[in-house]
Chains A and B, each alone.
Chain A
């Protein structure tokens, strides 16, 4: 970590990151949604690394696309599932920029499966951030690749049945098996401690790109009260009690060199 960034952290006590755009008229996330909290983590890290001037964000289709209204960085939105490809196109022509994606679980692992696999295969030096809320949020709560077995969604009204819909996907663990990956981690935002761990994951991930090591990935378990039909507080409990046992927190790969 560079010296200047350390000094910045020690000075700040609290406050809204300046990269987080003040409340806008046209849109707000649902109460208790973790998209804006994830955006806050990203904003804090970008400010601490002092890289906002060279950052380009690629947002997936879904609730993550609204981040274009929330974060004061250059941003691009394209077709559903394609951020790893779009990020590849930008990073290859602008290798000195920091290029990262923010995608939902469906955007990345379902429709975006081949784009993810392509970026992993080619060891693209991009950062992929996936917000895992175990449903398709924007479209009203259908099953997602990370929906838990037995979890009720609008397309699994009796709960996810393994015989017809298989099992939740563990993306962070899967991504960690690829040689071109420098970093793969999973965090949550349910407690201040988890928030700080997630922030450290994001910072490490961005640093892997800045140091030109390899692809970096951070998955964040994210509350979706509207589609879980839970209150914001109970959504946090649901993550703690149900999601973390299925999707363990921590780092699954962290290397400084890829041969």
Chain B
């Protein structure tokens, strides 16, 4: 039995990290995730854990690079900061460092807006930085999921020795809901024999090394062998870590696909549509990488139509197009369909319902 609280998504991420035994947080101010940085600034010193405000997101990701070679550690940011971190994330994928990185999405590109959007999807799901690599990307759609998925993120990061991304947005981040703060046991993990401790910290007294190239400290005989191993890791993650929710989708003829805040909007629109006799349902990816391609593909084979609801010009749209293999219609309710054109605009159920009716 956990502790019941009424808190916002950003805070639930922090509490999830704390129960997952995250030992260090490095962060830089950026809206809309300052609550995360400030929570760790207040609470981590009390717990005897490490908090550092870095000089920039470049600093955050590289401090994380160092700490992740030793303990469970994380950082948090929004779009512009996430962009600055890409070289670091690419390096971590090569160096096989486990860590959790939170991106609380805001409007983009550039400085964009400080309020919600879902415009970092492609960057997060395609690795984000240079070179071939992928990270598991988790998308919470409630405060409860903020707490649970953060814990899962640390587990998966250690399981695969790879960064895991928590892709949130300003609405989920600042939304308050009741949540049960409870530790989840995901099962045992192998000993971190590879981690740095100083030679004296290892039973065999031998040094460990961390490197982000394929040719200095050789973990594999050559570059292609390294890539083969990385490819296997990517395939393992794809096969084992897919998570999604199916809401009223079994008999649905129109499938909505949405994640994060727009998935809740989609659910509301589906309920309203069903009341009008329209058979609509939702597939909500919880992991947007790996993406539920097969689930969408199967629905396409059954003759369903698709409506992607995402607060962007169309990013997850690409993945749905890819999944249906040209066999189905795919529509979009996107950022251009917000209820008002200022930065506080959002996608609302009525607009989605209007589109659902139109597709019938």
State the A residues within 8 Å of B (CB): 52-56, 58, 65-66, 68-69, 72-79, 82, 85-90, 92-94, 97, 114-115, 117-118, 121-122
Contacts and interface: CB of A to CB of B under 8 A. Distances in A.
Given A68-B217, A92-B67, A75 B209 contact: yes
Contacts of A56: 196, 198
Interface in B50-85: 50, 52, 54-56, 58-59, 62-71, 73
Interface string B67-109: 1111101000000000000011001000100000000000000
B199 interface: yes
A118 B23 CA distance: 21
B70 A77 contact: no
Contact of A82 (B62, B69, B199): B62
Contact of A54 (B71, B73, B88, B198): B198
B116 to A, nearest CB: 29
Contact of B71 (A66, A93, A118): A93
Nearest to A82: B62
8 contacts: A54-B198, A68-B217, A75-B207, A79-B87, A89-B26, A93-B24, A93-B70, A94-B70
B210 interface: yes
Contacts of A86: 62-63, 65-66
A121 B55 contact: yes
B124 to A, nearest CB: 19
Contacts of B56: 114, 118
B274 interface: no
Interface of B: 23-24, 26, 50, 52, 54-56, 58-59, 62-71, 73, 87-88, 91, 95, 196-201, 205, 207-213, 216-217
Given A68-B209, A68-B216, A76-B209, A55 B198 contact: yes
A65 B216 contact: yes
Nearest to A55: B198
Nearest to B53: A122
A52 B66 CA distance: 19
A90 B211 contact: no
Most buried by A among B71, B200, B207: B207
B62 A89 contact: yes
Contact of B50 (A58, A75, A82, A92): A92
A93 B23 contact: yes
B217 A89 contact: no
B129 to A, nearest CB: 10
A89 B73 contact: yes
Given A93-B71, A118-B59, A76 B211 contact: yes
A240 B344 CA distance: 64
B51 to A, nearest CB: 9
Contact of A90 (B95, B196, B209): B196
Contact of A77 (B26, B68, B73, B213): B213
B85 to A, nearest CB: 10
Contact of A97 (B24, B50, B87, B198): B198
Contacts of B62: 78-79, 82, 85-86, 89, 115
Given A89-B65, A121-B55, A78 B91 contact: yes
Contacts of A58: 66
Contacts of B71: 93
B209 A115 contact: no
A52 B205 CA distance: 11
Most buried by A among B56, B69, B91, B212: B69
Nearest to A121: B55
Contacts of B69: 76, 89-90
Given A89-B24, A89-B69, 5 more contacts: A75-B207, A76-B66, A77-B216, A85-B62, A88-B63
